[in-house]
Structure 1
Amino acid sequence: MSNLLRFRNGGKADEQAPPAIVVEGRRKATGGRAPGRVLMTMAALFCVYAAIGGRLVQLGLTEEPQVNLPESRPMASRPDLVDRNGAVLATDIKTASLFAEPRRIVDVDEAIEKLRRVLPDLDYEQTYHRLSSDAGFVWLRRQLSPRQQSQILALGIPGLGFRTEKRRFYPGGETASHILGLVNIDNKGIAGIEKYVDDQGLADLQALGLAGPDTLEPVRLSIDFRVQHVLHDELVQAMDRYRAIAAGGVILNARTGEVMAMASLPDYDPNNPYNALEKDRLNRMSAGVFEMGSTFKLFTTAMALDSGLVDLDDSFDASKPLRIGGFTINDFHGKRRVLTVPEVFIYSSNIGTAKMADVVGIQGHREFLKRVGLLDRMKTELPEVAHPTEPREWKKLHSITISFGHGVATTPLQTAVAAAAMVNGGKLFPPTFLPRTEEEANAVATQVISPETSAKIRYLMRLNVEKGSGSRAEVPGYYVGGKTGTAEKVVNGRYSNDKRFNAFVAQFPANDPDYVVLVVLDEPKPEREGIGATSGLNTAPTVGNIIRRAAPLLGVEPDFGHEGEALLVSYQ
């Protein structure tokens, strides 16, 4: 101790304890172990980092993912659907879908309670089961609105996420729903033109990953959306005015077979198709079959005239009912006298029409209806097409009742298609929802009656609007011609006296038709007390309203030069 104090105070060191020897011993005692400790620390750190690196490599090479995240495939794109003028009818938009990672949900009850503030219809039990599972990923709600997504984000619930998907959007809502059809939650077509597009190869392109938004051209349809709106609007008004349970209508280009507009009510909004599968939402125009009533007299008359066995100057005795096989055939408002062929047509005589069919015969009658496409399933782009029904074996009674529209059930659309062939010179065109030129139409047409017979039918239809049951369909300047049809519906195996299926088929301009219009009303009621509910009182004026609004949009100019004349053009 005294030596150390002297060293610090600058005194001389003791000769028996040399300072040099003391300093060297202390260095050996402390500094010799320091390099070993450093090396040991470095080795330990190296081992730790090597273990971490090895684990990372192991995780990177593991085939099974640790969390089942959403599948990384892109949602399949679909081409836009546009009308003949380029107006967008269906397109893809981006939307967010909500998913959860149950393992990261802290409080399931609290999470569901918060979510139901934004999604009040969220099923509690189903959602609780999903969030309580050990799954890495579950869907909670597909295709949210931007507002819903923003509100859910504001909730701040851990374990929830969003995935961007594509959703089909229909700007026109329900206006053309039965034509356009539907897609499912994965953007796959399941009805209407949407399904047709998939069946034409879109599904294969999607499977190959070649269906991108920049690689698909829009699909142009034959319909004119402006005319579609007119037709839909008038059907909505008619259904309300006459308190019908259903309504439908179609506008056909008589020169090409293109469908310019078609609607069936009740319908649905394809943007929210919660009720699309209800049975009353059926597309009655192509997927429903009905006895079309007296509109079939148009075909019976054309058949008789085209056979050469009947002419416009011929007459048939309708003075008394026709009895056959225990049944009595009578007229609704019978004239009880001999009627000429034009009178049989404009007075809609069941007796006279039955006798015309009898002149042609059973086999000839069936052959004619098959020739004009009324007994076979119609071929068109829509997948929803029903097959007509007919008797298993045609007998004379069948032929007689079918002559005025009872006994054969067919779709309203193919009735309109066959009617177009009766007035366009005799050419039957397969109906199409895609654009078609007259040259393309003529290449697929079938001549079913002669041009001379077609001219006579145009004359009779125009005469019926001027002087017969179709007078309420008249539109000045457009020479409307048409035929009414009031069919009693079958209820419990018997024809009902108070439930009807009404139809009116029209052509315009009658001297050289461009378009055919057909409207149907299911179980219409009298517009007011004291009047009837026949076709001439409801479907005929509805067709007139449609033509009045749609003709200018279709480019048909009115002509007031020959008003009041039922023109019969001679082809001889």
Structure 2
Amino acid sequence: MKKFTRPQTLLRKAHFDLSKSVGRRDVDQVERHAVQARQRVMILAGLFCCAYAVIGGRLVQYGLSKTVVTDAVFENGSRVNSRPDIVDRNGELLAVDLDMVSLYAEPRRIVDADEAVEKLAAVLPDLDWAGTHKKLTSNTGFQWLRRQLTPKQQADIMKLGIPGIGFRPEKRRFYPGGATAAHILGHVDIDNRGSAGMERFIDQQGLSALREAGLTSNVPMSPVRLSIDLRVQNIVHEVVANAKIAYQAEAAGAVVLDVETGEVLAMASVPDYDPNVPSRILPDGSVDKEYEKGWFNRMSNATFEMGSTFKSFTLAMGLDLGEITLNSVIDASKPYRLAGFTIHDDHGQGRPLTVPEVFQYSSNIGTATIAAKVELADHQAFLTKLGLLTKMKTELPEVATPTQPRPWRRINQVTISFGHGVATTPLQTAVAGAALINGGKLIEPTFLPRTAAEAAASAIQVIKPSTSADMRFLFHWNGVKGSGRSALVPGFDVGGKTGTADKVVNGRYATHLNFNAFLAGFPMAKPRYVVLTVIDAPQTGEKGGRLAAYTAAPMAKQIISKAGALLGVQPRFGREEEQLLVNY
């Protein structure tokens, strides 16, 4: 007989069995969750380990890599390339360094190149976006972004807080006078290195070596004093610039020279340029070549046929070699013929002329006749002795070499006697002219101060003192009675010789274009200064004339009248009248 089981017992047993079954499923689920949690922790730990490994690796890389030093990217290894100030003979400032900063980038440290370019463009509107972006993504240690910023631009860029962007202190050359003495001073490049003129000369005298040795970084330097008188330079530049415009000429120039020391007191050539802005960029991004033509210094770096000013040297040669005297009479009654060529006078008198009259009337016939009395070799040697056929020695790097026929023939001698066939620089023409009136001593020109004693020690006697006295007489004679009358300045006793030459164009003489010059000295009783003025291809002149007497001579008159007293020449009015000082 089966044992009876009560319902309560069955219910308890069923409940126990159900609870047991459910408990196992929960345990399995909990275990599965635990495994998944452990897996997630391991993944996260792995990710953290990878991240720390990358960071650690980069730190090791930075520690082992060579440190980028900004200064190391520059050629000279110096932080700042300083230059000495340049002053005139009176201490007036001509060139000075200004403290500036330039913007650079270290592309390897740039976080976001696109953002950096966008921010920089907000401060520098003319920024080259593509070029700058290329620099910032170049993976190099250093790139210039903008040279010589203004203080405001620097401050605005600093506020941007761009990583990998920095500033480097630099020097910028400043010329207070602008174009006034451009061809004397020259200019510097973006790294403050001399590119032309006296700036380049200073580098050649040892500044470049000091810079390479890193000895020009913010080092105080003594000023470089020039022979230039800024007051006279301003006058000469103004006269030359105005003459080019007034006479509708291609170019013009002038120089003032001390005949006793060879010092250049002033020199200007136009077209010129502003050395503060030696180059200009056109809207299309190209360089303005027309503006850069102003770099060309026509006074020392260009050669011209100097026309009738060369008659001064021909007559001096005849006098010095004893072929003529001031009392000699030269037959200029008919044209001079040689080897099928015929020489005429522009202002012929149709009669024999004395030597002073040959000079006064600028007789080609008379001058050619005098030159023919001298052997070819002696004529060439005389001009060489005056420095007219060889490259001039002076501080300016821009000096041209004269040209002459090779070989010389008789017809060359004839044309050279009145200024055709030999091309020389205006500056060395002025130097040779000074030797004619200073007692016969050739003194190399200088743009640095020089005493009379220093000049005498290096001077070369090229003509006799008696010949120099005769030439002073001829200059005075022509200044009073000849073409030099256009340059007369009351009280300053100006003498000189005009020169009008047909301009050479494409190897041929252009009869409608002239190159005009006037070689002047003052005061002729005891000359102290030579003034040479030139004007290239004038279309008009005083009283409508295009010759030197109407263009170059009036230029000399303006210079002497304004600068004579500044140069210490006291004008004399009348023989018995006391000397007066005149303010201009």
Pair in the same fold by TM > 0.5: yes
Match of 1:435 in 2: 449
Provide closer, same or farther for how the CA distance between residues 67 and 395 of structure 1 changes in structure 2, counting only shifts above 3 A. closer
TM-score, normalised on structure 2?
A: 0.83
Q: How many Å apart are 1:253 and its aligned residue?
A: 0.4
Conserved in 2, the CA contact under 8 Å of 1:293 and 1:405?
yes
2:239 aligns with one of 234, 246, 260: 234
2:483 is the alignment partner of 1:469: yes
Match of 1:22 in 2: none
Q: How many Å apart are 1:492 and its aligned residue?
A: 2.8
CA distance in 2, matches of 1:119, 1:426: 62
Matched residue type, 1:400: V
TM-score, normalised on structure 1?
A: 0.84
Match of 1:504 in 2: 518
Conserved in 2, the CA contact under 8 Å of 1:339 and 1:352?
yes
SS at match of 2:512: strand
CA distance in 2, matches of 1:112, 1:356: 76
Computed over aligned residues only, the root mean square deviation of the Cα atoms, in angstroms, reads 2.7
CA distances 1:69-116 after superposition (whole Å, capped 9, x unpaired): 874732122111111111111111111111123455566456445544
SS at match of 2:551: helix
Deviation larger for 77-86 or 327-336 = 327-336
2:530 is the alignment partner of 1:516: yes
Conserved in 1, the CA contact under 8 Å of 2:250 and 2:536?
yes
Q: How many Å apart are 1:205 and its aligned residue?
A: 1.9
CA distance in 2, matches of 1:117, 1:465: 66
Q: How many Å apart are 1:522 and its aligned residue?
A: 0.7
Provide closer, same or farther for how the CA distance between residues 210 and 65 of structure 1 changes in structure 2, counting only shifts above 3 A. closer
CA distance in 1, matches of 2:121, 2:478: 62
2:276 aligns with one of 247, 271, 274: 271
CA distances 1:98-135 after superposition (whole Å, capped 9, x unpaired): 11234555664564455445544433432232123223
Matched residue type, 1:245: E
Gaps of 5+ in 1: 1-50, 565-572
Conserved in 1, the CA contact under 8 Å of 2:78 and 2:214?
no
2:399 is the alignment partner of 1:385: yes
CA distance in 2, matches of 1:301, 1:120: 66
2:172 is the alignment partner of 1:132: no
Match of 1:555 in 2: 568
Aligned length: 515
Match of 1:249 in 2: 254
Q: How many Å apart are 1:62 and its aligned residue?
A: 3.0
Provide closer, same or farther for how the CA distance between residues 115 and 562 of structure 1 changes in structure 2, counting only shifts above 3 A. farther
Provide closer, same or farther for how the CA distance between residues 414 and 554 of structure 1 changes in structure 2, counting only shifts above 3 A. same
Match of 2:313 in 1: 299
Conserved in 2, the CA contact under 8 Å of 1:476 and 1:563?
no
Structure 2 matches for 1:196-235, cutoff 5 A? 196-235=201-240
Provide closer, same or farther for how the CA distance between residues 432 and 69 of structure 1 changes in structure 2, counting only shifts above 3 A. closer
Match of 1:84 in 2: 89
CA distance in 1, matches of 2:68, 2:214: 27
SS at match of 1:189: coil
CA distance in 1, matches of 2:122, 2:477: 65
2:105 is the alignment partner of 1:100: yes
Provide closer, same or farther for how the CA distance between residues 519 and 334 of structure 1 changes in structure 2, counting only shifts above 3 A. same
Conserved in 1, the CA contact under 8 Å of 2:502 and 2:510?
yes
Conserved in 1, the CA contact under 8 Å of 2:79 and 2:169?
no
SS at match of 2:564: helix
Conserved in 1, the CA contact under 8 Å of 2:194 and 2:202?
yes
CA distances 1:511-538 after superposition (whole Å, capped 9, x unpaired): 101100001111111137x732000001
CA distance in 1, matches of 2:71, 2:443: 53
Conserved in 2, the CA contact under 8 Å of 1:70 and 1:137?
no
Structure 2 matches for 1:56-67, cutoff 5 A? 62=64, 64-65=66-67
Structure 2 matches for 1:37-186, cutoff 5 A? 62=64, 64-65=66-67, 71=73, 73-103=78-108, 105=110, 108=113, 111-112=116-117, 115-116=120-121, 118-153=123-158, 157=162, 159-186=164-191
CA distance in 2, matches of 1:536, 1:440: 36
SS at match of 1:248: strand
CA distance in 2, matches of 1:98, 1:66: 16
Give the fraction of aligned pairs with identical amino acids, expressed as a percent.
58
CA distance in 2, matches of 1:321, 1:112: 78
Match of 1:48 in 2: none
Provide closer, same or farther for how the CA distance between residues 153 and 513 of structure 1 changes in structure 2, counting only shifts above 3 A. same
Deviation larger for 484-493 or 506-515 = 484-493
